[in-house]
Amino acid sequence: MKEWIFRLLGKGPEAVVVVFCTGDPDLCARMVEEVRTLVPDRRVFVATEENWPELRRELKPYRVGLAPVMLTRRPSALRRAAYRLAPHKILAYNSRLERHHLRFNLASVLFWRGVPLDRIHLRPWWWPFPKRDRSIVPQGYRVLEGRPCTQGRRRIAVLSPYFPFPLAHGGAVRIYNLLREMAREFDVELFAFTDGPLEVAPLLEFCARIALVEKPRYREPRWSSLLPPEVHEFRSTAMQKALAEERRAFGYEKLQVEYTQLAEYAGDVLVEHDVTFDLFTQIAGRERTLAAAWDAFRWRRFENRALRRYRHVVVMSEKDLKMVGVPAVVLPNGVDLERFRPEPEPPGENLLFIGSFRHFPNVAAYRFFAESVWPLLREKFPRLTLTVVCGADHLTYWRAFSDSPEPKPDPRIRLLGFVSDVRPLYREANLIIVPTTISAGTNVKVLEAMAMQRAVVSTTSGCAGLGLLHDHNVWIADTPQAFAAGIATLINDPDRRAQIALAAYGVARRNFDWPAIGGRQRDLLSL
């Protein structure tokens, strides 16, 4: 019967697969290879911009059963052709080669936008119908014993979304150093989510206990939620159990919660490493899409409510204090002046940018510099080089946040992954760049550069909240032309560069030494 109906419609009974190569050629080739593996018994056609007019005529006698498409954020005529040919048969691939059957729901919109499958949370907790659970939600936790407790000392707990070692990014640097400063007066227990091997010994030197919970991995698409996906990401009954049982066993008096996405774990002090709704509002203003506006709305709603539930709120700068709208204490980021010391500047024209690609604003910053600023400098300064510290798994995050499989190669741009000690890179550099176009909180890497007595060229957002002045202790520029001109000015004028670097070092010594900030942190916890 089925065969007769399709022949009546002028179609063959066998469904074919048409793969639409709408993105990077290498990724598309891998997509085609995977599709052939998934449906080995089906005939597969490969559509490209060049062959589509001829292939469209060739497909007339066939019924299309599946239409895999490489989704990028840039629309194309070939992608529109796929939707016209098989609107309900789209198998969408993103730059991480995750696949998702597109239907007209919010999950599809998020996937199209580039959100990885494990970050899409679209089913409310009250959803009554059972679904196949593809999540990994650990139920247990483990406790490590560290430095012996001191009789009579008060006990404090700190909750972090990650284990703060190695010191691979600004958040880890802050948490590690302030834990060390807390331990001068309190017995401290650290609660942390984990997602891989750990080097725990450095923290066991000053933490009394460390409770570790494996981070959940949610992979089941759900119906829309007013909570941001990042909040769902850290919902864990194992962590709730650990906090409750360790309060009885260890007897901590206060819980300090690091980052807004953990605010549902009711504590006493909430540390706003950045004002998250401000970050997402900037992204919404930049992208001007419904999905970005929805993210900004959800974060503003959640964060405003969370801030009012905490007895104490900590922010990074006076700018953040004005933004949160509740009484808060400013405890800025700092720098370890014992580790980061002034070093003589070497000869050369070497730029350095440190920014983990795990954080979307750093990907946007690198793209801004590489695409808009670097071309203005490359020919004028044939000896100019750039080193970028991108962090672990940087290509994975690059693909998640951009339309290409990897940054465009350049023999004078060196991209590094995880670097355990960045001080040698600061020593090699003549100028530090911070081309951040979207930012919240304050930038620890700027403080490290100041402590190493290196001049910084930054956007306004890149050095916000640090109280720095243009052409005195930093060079500030916001357009590609101004940023390139600032680099050119300081590369050509070593004396001016040295004056800015020396003034910045003085600011770091006066205002951003961790022991002084740690003393104010201990005073807050003693209230």
Q: What does the block give as tokens for 123?
A: 């089913």
- For the residues 18-46, what does the mean pLDDT come to? 87
Instruction: Give the C-alpha separation, 176 to 210, whole Å.
Output: 13
Q: Give bridge partners of residue 354 from the DSSP assignment.
A: 389
Does 286 or 363 have the greater pLDDT score?
363
Residues in the chain, total:
527
Instruction: Give the C-alpha separation, 457 to 454, whole Å.
Output: 10
pLDDT at 75 > cutoff 80: no
- Tens digit of each residue's pLDDT (9 = 90 or more) over 217-266: 765 444 457 888 888 889 899 999 999 999 999 999 999 999 999 999 98
pLDDT, residue 116, reads: 56
Structural element, H or E, at residue 198? none
210 three-state secondary structure:
strand
Q: Give bridge partners of residue 16 from the DSSP assignment.
A: 64
Q: What is the DSSP letter of 518?
A: H
Q: What does the block give as tokens for 309?
A: 């539930």
pLDDT, residue 223, reads: 42
- For the residues 366-380, what does the mean pLDDT come to? 97
Q: What does the block give as tokens for 283?
A: 């992204």
Structural element, H or E, at residue 45? strand 44-47
Is the peptide bond between 166 and the residue preceding it cis, with omega within 30 degrees of 0?
yes
Instruction: Give the C-alpha separation, 456 to 450, whole Å.
Output: 8
For tokens 């050629």, the residue is: 25
Q: What is the DSSP letter of 344?
A: P
pLDDT at 440 > cutoff 80: no
Q: Give bridge partners of residue 265 from the DSSP assignment.
A: none
pLDDT, residue 71, reads: 79
Domains of the chain: 2-93 (3.40.50), 142-334+517-526 (3.40.50.2000), 350-511 (3.40.50.2000)
Please, which pLDDT band fits residue 401 given cuts at 50, 70 and 90? confident
Does 348 or 5 have the greater pLDDT score?
348
Kindly report the pTM of this predicted structure.
0.76
pLDDT at 56 > cutoff 50: yes
Instruction: Give the C-alpha separation, 318 to 234, whole Å.
Output: 29
pLDDT, residue 133, reads: 46
pLDDT, residue 112, reads: 55
Lowest mean pLDDT among 140-149, 163-172, 426-435, 468-477: 163-172
Lowest mean pLDDT among 209-218, 450-459, 468-477: 209-218
pLDDT, residue 6, reads: 47
213 three-state secondary structure:
strand
pLDDT, residue 224, reads: 57
Share of the chain above pLDDT 70, in %: 88
In the chain the first and final C-alpha atoms are separated, in Å, by 80
* Contact between 80 and 91 (Cβ < 8 Å): no
pLDDT, residue 132, reads: 44
pLDDT at 347 > cutoff 50: yes
Cα separations in angstroms, 359 against 42, 154, 279, 393: 41, 35, 11, 12
pLDDT, residue 202, reads: 96
Residue 100 sits at φ, ψ, to 5 deg, of -155, 130
Report DSSP letters for 458-478, one per residue: E-TGGGTTS---BTTTBEE--
pLDDT, residue 219, reads: 55
Q: Give bridge partners of residue 269 from the DSSP assignment.
A: 256, 312
- Residue 386: CB partners within 8 Å, gap ≥ 6? 350, 351, 352, 353, 369, 374, 412, 413, 414, 433
Q: Which residue blocks in 52-134 are alpha helix, DSSP H?
A: 52-58, 77-85, 106-113
Question: Of 443, 428, 421, which Cα lies nearest the Cα of 504?
Answer: 443
- Tens digit of each residue's pLDDT (9 = 90 or more) over 146-195: 999 999 999 999 999 999 999 988 899 999 999 999 999 999 999 999 98
Instruction: Give the C-alpha separation, 349 to 381, whole Å.
Output: 8
pLDDT, residue 483, reads: 98
What is the pLDDT of the chain when averaged over all its residues?
88
pLDDT, residue 283, reads: 87
- For the residues 64-82, what does the mean pLDDT come to? 81
- For the residues 283-311, what does the mean pLDDT come to? 91
The pairing of beta strand 254-258 with beta strand 187-194: unpaired
Does 465 or 192 have the greater pLDDT score?
192
